[in-house]
A and B are shown apart, each in its own frame.
Chain A
Amino acid sequence: MNNSFNHFQIHALGLCGLCLCLVAGYYLGLRPVWQAQQQLQAIASEGDNLQSLRPSMELELASLTEHIAAKRQLLAEKYSIATADDQPWVGIVTQLLQQRHVELGSLREEPQGSEGGATIMLQITGTYVDLLGLIDDLRRLDRPARISSLNLSPQDERGENCSALVSVRFFPRRHNSPPPPTT
């Protein structure tokens, strides 16, 4: 009985050693190779794909850069009159009036409520050219201003001097700045 138990113990120990060698061989020898192989294949496949797409991506990049630059320039030209972030509406209007040598008769500001912004009613006099210049300036402000109404009347026979009643709605600055360029 004692002898047969000893034989069994030797066989069990031998088999344990065998298993240990096989497990160690798999986990430390074969598995890392297999994993590294898989990673290499995945990266190589992605790399090949990217390399094949590279010419078209370079073209797209150049086209997008050009398109964005053109759009920025167009917007900058279209809305070319810059205003400070904290500049009040009244300040902007009086600055434009001064630049165009338009005489201010009266100015009234009506707040726009929860939407923000304000509507400004202006009674002004000046030459026809200067008044049209002022309207153009209002449309070229870097923050949106909407001319809600305009009543223009000539003051002399030739129509060189005119008086105008203008209602302009100014919108708040938020959401009204172009996105910054990507570096």
Chain B
Amino acid sequence: MRSVNLLPTLATDRFRRQRLVLTWSKLLLCLSLATASLIAWGQSTATQQLQRRDQQESLAEHPRQIRKQCAALQVQLRELNQYETVQRVQRSQFSPLVACQLLHHMKAQLHGQLQITNLEFVDTSLVQTIGQAPTAGGYLSLQLISSGPTSCSRVMQSIRETNYFSDVRLSSALEKVDSTGTNLQYSVRCEF
């Protein structure tokens, strides 16, 4: 049996359009609901995760502060070291007090047989710019009187044994202080 569509063509098209609109409307409605649910879930999950992130961040705050303090202290230590270096470079490398202490010690060793008539200390080391190694340089010139050549030799030996000086030498002749006594006067130059 053959079916025959008796509806006019225009009516058929209108019914088709209505069905199409209805189908799309249902589909879009379902999709909108699904999207709305997805957005609601997404926002809620994201908020929860952001809260957890804030918690984690607050937990890490204390160690982060410690790390920051360590960095600041390291900078301060570096500055202090630099300050100390500058001070060391600018002040005398070899103190005249060391020479005085040395002479005091030698006088005690020689039981008063050594007399110092003059001490000259000259520091010729150059002041380097910051960061460069300082170079010590200069000399100590001593005018001494001791009781005989043996004492003079002991004095020279004692000065050499201190290892403070790169060179120790007699810078004048050994001369008698007076014609009757045995005391000798002489000069010693010690380079540092």
Note all chain A residues with C-beta closer than 8 A to B77: 64, 67-68, 71
Asked if A150 lies at the interface with its beta carbon under 8 angstroms from chain B, I say yes
Compute how far the CA of A22 lies from the CA of B53 in the bound complex, rounded to whole angstroms. Answer: 28
B 47-88 to A, binary, CB cutoff 8 A, 1 in contact else 0? 001101100110110111011011011101101110110110
Asked if A82 lies at the interface with its beta carbon under 8 angstroms from chain B, I say no
Asked if B116 lies at the interface with its beta carbon under 8 angstroms from chain A, I say yes
Compute how far the CA of A28 lies from the CA of B35 in the bound complex, rounded to whole angstroms. Answer: 9
> Pick the contact of B21 from A10, A39, A50, A148 — CB < 8 Å?
A10
Note all chain A residues with C-beta closer than 8 A to B83: 75, 176-179
Would you call A146 and B42 a contact (CB within 8 A)? no
Asked if A61 lies at the interface with its beta carbon under 8 angstroms from chain B, I say yes
Compute how far the CA of A62 lies from the CA of B4 in the bound complex, rounded to whole angstroms. Answer: 99
Note all chain B residues with C-beta closer than 8 A to A64: 70, 73-74, 77
- What is the interface size of chain A, counting residues whose CB is below 8 A from a CB of the partner? 68
Note all chain B residues with C-beta closer than 8 A to A30: 38, 42
Note all chain B residues with C-beta closer than 8 A to A176: 83, 86-87, 90
- What is the interface size of chain B, counting residues whose CB is below 8 A from a CB of the partner? 65
Given contacts A36-B53, A152-B121, 10 further A-B contacts (CB under 8 A): A29-B39, A29-B43, A30-B42, A31-B42, A68-B73, A75-B80, A176-B87, A178-B80, A179-B80, A182-B69
Interface residues of A (CB under 8 A from B): 3, 6-7, 10-11, 13-14, 17-18, 21-22, 24-25, 28-33, 35-37, 39-40, 43-44, 46-47, 50-51, 53-54, 57-58, 60-61, 64-65, 67-68, 71-72, 75, 79, 132, 135-136, 139, 144-154, 159, 171, 175-179, 181-182
Interface residues of B (CB under 8 A from A): 13, 16-17, 20-21, 24, 27-28, 31-32, 34-35, 38-43, 45-46, 49-50, 52-53, 56-57, 59-60, 62-64, 66-67, 69-70, 72-74, 76-77, 79-81, 83-84, 86-87, 90-92, 95-97, 100, 115-123, 127, 130
